[in-house]
Every structure is written in structure tokens, then in C-alpha cells.
């Protein structure tokens, strides 16, 4: 596939796409990624994946553009009076401690959307990965954060690294989705695009 662009500045997504051994370049979309009023985590992920692809495609109309977004949602499994809340990238140690403390013994759903846009044809897919966290002590959280420094990761962990040790279980159809780009779904979207272009 020629003239392929990943609409992202994420080193994690770049590294994942390199696994498919495709020639591509990265172009960072410049857009507001905040949630809209009363927007679900699932809708936000799909909307932003499409918006990223469309923003870059406007600059490169002949390219095939890949957009992706991930939204993490903390679901409190032991409390009916706590509604789910979206988790962003912590940005610093203090916020990462707060995120992991809140996630301890709880479930986090990761909605990872991917969009492939080519000459106005837009196709999207969504992966939902469910992560069940172990009960984490303060010492475990501190030790983990010092080892992995996941301050640029939603949920404050790196599943591809030591972060996997924080989990009780993971339910997913695509293990790459948790890192930020669902390669199984993306591969299908690219195959479908190739088939329709013939």
C-alpha cells in the first residue's frame, strides 16, 4: 500500500504499525481531544479516531490515512453508587499514583478505535479490552511507577512492559489494542480497502 499515513504522534502507535511491515509516515493531527458533553467513552474513541484521520486527510487528500484513539473508563465493580469515569494520561507521578490507587481491585475498559480513510471512504472498527486489576498496595504502586514511568499512558501503566504484573486478568480479542492500535482490526480494514480498490 503506497502513500500511507498514520495520523498520530504516538511512539506506541508508530511502533505497533511497524509490526505490519508497511511503509508509512506519521503526521500529527492538531485537534481538540476533549470529550463532548454527555459523550460516552466508546463514542469519544470512535469520533476522535475519525477526526484524526479526516484532519490529516484534508492536508494529504491522495493518501490512505489511519486514525486511532483510545479512551479508558474506570468501572467500579463493587459499588452501585459510583458511575464510570474516564481516565486520561496522568502526566506526572502524583496523578499516576491516584489513578492506580483508584484502579486497584477494579475493572477498566479500554475503547480503542481505528479508522482508515481513503478518498472520502471512511471505515472504522472498535476494540473493547477489559482489564481487571489486582488489589495493589501503595508500595507496589510506587515501585511500579518508578520502574516503568508510564506518565504518558492512559491508566498509568504499560501493558507491554512491567504493567502486565498489575493485572488479575485481561479480556480482549486483540492484544495490540491495549497498547493503542488494534492491529487485527486495522489489518482487516486495510485488506478490505485493497479488495475494493481492485
Q: Would you state the pLDDT for residue 115?
A: 98
Q: How far is it, in rounded angstroms, from Cα 99 to Cα 79? A: 17
So where are the chain's domains?
Answer: 4-197
Q: Would you state the pLDDT for residue 32?
A: 85
Q: Would you state the pLDDT for residue 84?
A: 85
Q: How far is it, in rounded angstroms, from Cα 159 to Cα 41? A: 20
Q: Would you state the pLDDT for residue 41?
A: 92
Q: Would you state the pLDDT for residue 81?
A: 59
Q: How far is it, in rounded angstroms, from Cα 185 to Cα 124? A: 9
pLDDT means over runs of 10, the chain (198 residues)? 89 96 95 86 95 96 96 80 84 96 95 95 96 97 97 93 96 94 97 76
Q: How far is it, in rounded angstroms, from Cα 188 to Cα 120? A: 18
Q: Would you state the pLDDT for residue 95?
A: 96
What SS3 string covers the chain? CCCEEECCCCHHHHHHHHCCCCCEEECCCCCCCCCCCCCCHHHHHHHHHHHHHHHHHHHCCCCEEEEEEEEEEEECCCCCCCCCEEECCCCCHHHHHHHHHHHCCCEEEEEEEEEEEECCEEEEEEEEEEEEECCCCHHHHHHHHHHHCCCCCCCCCCCCCHHHHHEEEEECCCCCHHHCCCHHHHHHHHHHHHHHHC
Q: Which residues are designated catalytic?
A: 69
Topology at the third CATH level for domain 4-197: Maf protein (3.90.950)
pTM: 0.91
Q: Would you state the pLDDT for residue 198?
A: 52
C-alpha distance from residue 140 to each of 109, 132, 143, 146, 154 (Å): 22, 16, 5, 10, 19
Amino acid at each position: 500500500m503506497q502513500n500511507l499515513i498514520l495520523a498520530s504522534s504516538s511512539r506506541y502507535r508508530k511502533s505497533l504499525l511497524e509490526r505490519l511491515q508497511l511503509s508509512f509516515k506519521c503526521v500529527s493531527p492538531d485537534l481538540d481531544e476533549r470529550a463532548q458533553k454527555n459523550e460516552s467513552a466508546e463514542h469519544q474513541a470512535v469520533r476522535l479516531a475519525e477526526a484524526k484521520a479526516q484532519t490529516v486527510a484534508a492536508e494529504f487528500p491522495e493518501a490512505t490515512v489511519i486514525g486511532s484513539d483510545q479512551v479508558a473508563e474506570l468501572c467500579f465493580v463493587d459499588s452501585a453508587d459510583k458511575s464510570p469515569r474516564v481516565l486520561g494520561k496522568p502526566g506526572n507521578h502524583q496523578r499516576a499514583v491516584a489513578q492506580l490507587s483508584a484502579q486497584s481491585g477494579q475493572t477498566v475498559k479500554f475503547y480503542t478505535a481505528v479508522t482508515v480513510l481513503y478518498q472520502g471512504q471512511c471505515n472504522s472498527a472498535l476494540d473493547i479490552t477489559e482489564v481487571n486489576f489486582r488489589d495493589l498496595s501503595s508500595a507496589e504502586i510506587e515501585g511500579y511507577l518508578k520502574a516503568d514511568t508510564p506518565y504518558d499512558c492512559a491508566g498509568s501503566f504499560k501493558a507491554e512492559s512491567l504493567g502486565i504484573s498489575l493485572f488479575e486478568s485481561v479480556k480482549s480479542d486483540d492484544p495490540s489494542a491495549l497498547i493503542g492500535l488494534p492491529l487485527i482490526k486495522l489489518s482487516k480494514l486495510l485488506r478490505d480497502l485493497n479488495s475494493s480498490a481492485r
